[in-house]
A and B are shown apart, each in its own frame.
Chain A
Amino acid sequence: MEAGGVVHALRLLHRSLVPGGVLLDLQPAAADSLVLAGGQPAGWLDERDFQRDLAATAEGLGQAVAEGLFVLEDEVWFDIVHSFDAGALLVAEVSGWRGVRVPADIPPRLRARHSPFEVVEACTLRRLRAL
Chain B
Amino acid sequence: MSRIAVHPAREMAALSLVGGLDDMRVLEVGCGDGRLTLAYARRTRSVVGIDPDEERIAEARRTLPPDLTGLVRFEVGDVVELLQPPAAFDAVFLSHSL
Contact = CB atoms under 8 A, between A and B. Distances in A.
Contact of B18 (A24, A85, A93): A24
A124 to B, nearest CB: 9
Counting from the closest, the 6 A-B pairs by CB-CB distance are A127-B18, A22-B91, A9-B79, A125-B14, A83-B5, A89-B2
B50 to A, nearest CB: 11
Contacts of A78: 10-11, 13-14
A86 B2 contact: yes
Given A76-B17, A78-B10, A17 B2 contact: no
Given A17-B87, A80-B10, A127-B18, A26 B2 contact: no
Interface in B1-31: 2-7, 10-11, 13-15, 17-19, 21, 24, 27, 29
Interface size class of B (residues with CB under 8 A): 20 to 34
A66 interface: no
A85 B1 CA distance: 9
A26 B4 contact: no
Nearest to B82: A12
A5 B98 CA distance: 9
20 contacts: A5-B80, A9-B79, A9-B80, A12-B79, A16-B27, A16-B82, A16-B89, A21-B91, A22-B24, A25-B94, A27-B94, A78-B13, A80-B10, A80-B11, A84-B3, A84-B4, A84-B5, A89-B3, A123-B14, A125-B14
Which DSSP category, helix, strand, loop or mixed, fits chain A's interface?
strand
Contact of B4 (A18, A25, A82): A82
Contact of B19 (A6, A81, A127): A127
Contacts of B7: 81, 83
A121 B47 CA distance: 26
